[in-house]
Amino acid sequence: MKELSLNILDIAENSQKAKATLTEIILNETEDTLILEIKDNGTGMSEQTLNCVTDPFYTTRTTRNVGLGIPLLKLAAEQTGGSFKITSKTEGESRGTCVTAVFNKNHIDFTPIGDTVSSIVTLIQGHPETDFLFKHSCNSGEVSLDTRELRGILGEVPLNSYEVIKWIGEYLSEQYENLK
């Protein structure tokens, strides 16, 4: 993947497949590190499955025998001297899956974060019936979006109506502009 934002899009798609109603995408940046957390309240995975997901030759897809999403993100983090963790629960209040990747931003193999706005817009366009919480914080401030809040205003108007999608993209881009 050329940008981490593409890994984010890819991993968050897994949450949709796991029937999550809320997917949280949290980016925390300091001078030297980036912590990415993608957390959902989906069906979760058994311990057995969890042990397999970082193996490229494990996949849920039926069209092919290779699943590269999780291994690619793990590699992107570890190649910067960072770390990768995935936890999951199939029952209880904390049901769901949480993926955490830590990156060394100053490492030569650090993949640029890229266009997060585009990834968030794409996720909402494809999954207007589920909710997303996006937060990207760094030294100069924070960018955030909570579709639950937008849904409260929009009522029956779907989140993937073009006017709404366009507004979300501009709303996020403007927040990023203000960080600079």
Partner 1 sequence: MKSLAELQAIKDKMKDKVVIREGSGNVRVVVGMATCGIAAGARPVLNTFVEEVNNGGLAEKVTVSQTGCIGICQFEPVVEVYEAGKEKVTYVKMTAEKAKEVVEKHLKGGNVVAEYTIANFKA
Positions in the binding site for partner 1 (CB under 8 A): 1, 6, 9-10, 13, 17, 61, 63-64, 67-69, 72, 118-119, 121-122, 125-126, 149-150, 153-158, 161-165, 167, 170-171, 174
Tokens of 105: 């931003």
The residue among 45 and 150 lying less far from partner 1, judged by its C-beta, is 150
Angle at alpha carbon of residue 179, lines to 175 and 180, rounded to 5°: 125
Dihedral sign of CA atoms 94, 87, 60, 117 in order: positive
Report the distance separating Cα 92 and Cα 172, nearest Å.
34
The residue among 84 and 89 lying less far from partner 1, judged by its C-beta, is 84
- What is the identity of the amino acid at 62? T
Cβ at position 41, least distance to partner 1 in Å = 21
The residue among 102 and 123 lying less far from partner 1, judged by its C-beta, is 123
Tokens of 117: 């706005």
The residue among 91 and 163 lying less far from partner 1, judged by its C-beta, is 163
Cβ at position 31, least distance to partner 1 in Å = 28
Report the distance separating Cα 122 and Cα 6, nearest Å.
10
Nearest to 20 by CA among 45, 52, 46, 1: 45
Cβ at position 14, least distance to partner 1 in Å = 9
Cβ at position 103, least distance to partner 1 in Å = 18
Tell me how crowded residue 117 is: count the other CB atoms within 10 A of its CB.
Answer: 22
Cβ at position 23, least distance to partner 1 in Å = 15
* DSSP β-ladder status, 96-104 and 33-40: antiparallel
Cβ at position 52, least distance to partner 1 in Å = 16
The residue among 28 and 58 lying less far from partner 1, judged by its C-beta, is 58
The residue among 32 and 66 lying less far from partner 1, judged by its C-beta, is 66
Give the residues across from 18 on adjacent strands. none
